[in-house]
Structure formats: C-alpha cells, structure tokens
Amino acid sequence: MITTLILRCGLVQKWDYDSCKKIPMRTSLIIFLCLYTDFLFGQSASMLMEEGLRFEKEFKLEEALKKYESVLKTEPNHLEALIHASRMTSNIAGHIEDKDARRKKLVVSENYSRRAIKINPGSADAHFSLVLTLALQSEVAVSPREKVKDAKLIREESEKIIELDPNYALGYFVLGKWHFEVSKFNWLERTACDLFFGGFPENVSMKEAKKNFDKAIALDPNQIIILYGQASILHYEGEGEKAIQILHRAISLPVREADDAFRKEKCEKLLKEIKK
C-alpha cells in the first residue's frame, strides 16, 4: 500500500521514533495523510465486505456483487472479495436464458476464481468457486470436446478441494455428480475423450457417485443441492421410493442459499417425474 511506497522511496529509512524526529514537518504531514488514507481504504474494504455478505444473506446477488467489485477496485488481490465475486457472478449467470450471454458472464466468474487460486492455492473455497463456474460452463458447452475438457477440470478441482479439506461436503458432492454425469456420457462424448484426452477417464462408476454423495450427506445432511443429487442417482438406478423420501425432506428444509428456492423447484419436478 501507500506506506510501503514511502519506505521504499527512502522518506523513512527505519520506521522508529528516532527517525521520525528527523523528518521535516511537511514530510511528516505527507506521511500522516498517507497513513490515514491506508486506514480509510482498509476500513472501506472491510465495510464493503460486510455489506456484500449481508446482501448475500438477503439473496440480493447483484447488490452483493457490486460491493465485492468495489473492494476489488482498491484491493485487486483481496482473496475473500474475489471468491465471493466469482460465486455471485456464476449464480447470476446460471439464471441467464441466453447461452452466449451466460458464457460471457461465466468468463468473468472464472477470471475471479483463478485470480483467487493464484493468490492462495491452498484455499478450498477458491477452488470450489472455480468448480461452480466450470460446471455451469459445461451445461452450455458448444461441443463434446469442450464438455469433456470441463469435466476433466471439474474432477481435478473437486479432488483438490477434498485434498485441501477432507471435511468439505460440497467437494464430495461435486465429485459424486462428476461420476454420475460422466458415467452417462454418450458415444460422441466418449469418442471425444479418446481423441482429445487419451481415453475415457478411469474408475468412473455409479458406485463411486453414490459413495461420494453419501459422504457429502454425512458431512452436511441439510444441504438441498446434495440431497437433490443423491435423489437423482437413486431415481436413475430405479430406487424411486428412497428418492421420494429424500426429495420430500429436501423440500421441507429452510432456504439457506440464494439458489435453494430454485433447487427446491428441481426437487419438486423430479418428484413428479418419479411418481408418474
């Protein structure tokens, strides 16, 4: 920040009381103003983050994103702001109907998350923000090659999340969903695996999907998105009654995140499909 520049420019060789006594009054005033500016910037970033998090809790995604973007204008390497900006951007993108507009929004989200990972490669939250973006990109992939590429990255990132934090429930959820979706790849997507990525991924199975969903549920039993994922695989494997019980439970849970209302709608839709 500015005080660091003062030290580097040689205005103060050593930051102690003796050196301060030798500084001319005008220089002292400049240093004071710079220190005060540092304080205001720090205070402002902290306040903006608090406001952004408050908006998140109120499910006001656009307002929250604006606060995080404001933080990043003055502190471009603010890790928490980057992670939350990525999450808000991807959430907003997920509700955009136009696929081209959604892709453009997801490029912004990916940029935020990759910057966060670069700043702190050991942050499970930073890696998860990237996974969310990649998953949404996969939904609007324009070719089998692009979809397979996204799938490869999603597996790598979800395994990295679990490596960094073995108790990260959503890491297991993503890995479970990865096994579930890749197991259903059609012949064209499997061919793309062979052509561009040296073959179909090893150890892909519905059994692994169920194992990871079960682990995610054990760690966070009240996460609607995880319950929906578990019900989806049970329905796919013909265990409709078990899926129905899980979906009823998911629908009864309180909304914790902005997308939970939308996830409940998906649960209700799957419930109707099973009951047909």
The angle at the Cα of 200, spanning 195 to 204, to the nearest 5 degrees, equals 165
Q: How confident is the model at residue 118 (pLDDT cuts 50, 70, 90)?
A: very high
Q: Are 123 and 132 in contact (CB under 8 A)?
A: no
Residue-wise pLDDT tens digits, 38-57: 444 445 888 999 999 999 98
Residue-wise pLDDT tens digits, 147-200: 778 888 999 999 999 999 999 999 999 999 989 988 888 878 778 777 666 777
Mean local confidence (pLDDT), 242-269: 92
Q: Which residue type does 216 have?
A: A
**Structure tokens, 232:** 């989806």
Tell me the C-alpha distance between 4 and 111, whole Å: 28
Residue 272 has pLDDT above 50, yes or no: yes
Residue 27 falls within a domain, yes or no? no
Q: How confident is the model at residue 2 (pLDDT cuts 50, 70, 90)?
A: very low
Residue 6 falls within a domain, yes or no? no
Tell me the C-alpha distance between 228 and 250, whole Å: 7
Query: SS3 string of 224-275?
Result: HHHHHHHHHHHHHCCCHHHHHHHHHHHHHCCCCCCCHHHHHHHHHHHHHHHH
Neighbours of 253 (CB within 10 A): 16
Q: What is the pLDDT of residue 168?
A: 97
Residue 146 falls within a domain, yes or no? no
136 DSSP 8-state letter:
H
Query: In the chain, how many domains are there?
Result: 1
Residue 159 falls within a domain, yes or no? no
Q: Give this prediction's pTM.
A: 0.78
Residue 3 falls within a domain, yes or no? no
The CA radius of gyration of the chain, in Å to the nearest whole number, is: 24
33-47, 149-163, 204-218, 236-250: segment of lowest average pLDDT: 33-47
Phi, psi angles (nearest 5°) of residue 59: 65, 30
Residue 15 has pLDDT above 50, yes or no: no
Query: Quick one: CA dihedral 184, 124, 82, 257, positive or negative?
Result: positive
Q: What is the pLDDT of residue 4?
A: 41
- For 38, half-sphere exposure in the C-beta direction (CA atoms, 13 angstrom radius) is 12
Q: What is the pLDDT of residue 193?
A: 76
Q: What is the pLDDT of residue 31?
A: 52
Tell me the C-alpha distance between 238 and 96, whole Å: 33
Residue-wise pLDDT tens digits, 120-133: 999 999 999 999 99
Residue 67 falls within a domain, yes or no? no
Residue 225 falls within a domain, yes or no? yes
Q: Across the chain, what does the average pLDDT equal?
A: 84
Q: What is the pLDDT of residue 27?
A: 55
Whose CA is closest to 92, among 111, 113, 106?
A: 106
Instruction: Kindly give, in sequence order, each residue whose CB lies less than 8 Å from that of residue 230, ignoring residues fewer than 6 positions away.
Output: 210, 213, 214, 216, 217, 246
Domain range for 275 is: 221-276
Residue-wise pLDDT tens digits, 65-101: 999 999 999 999 999 999 999 999 999 998 898 999 9
Residue 245 falls within a domain, yes or no? yes
Q: What is the pLDDT of residue 174?
A: 93
Residue 239 has pLDDT above 80, yes or no: yes
- For 132, half-sphere exposure in the C-beta direction (CA atoms, 13 angstrom radius) is 27
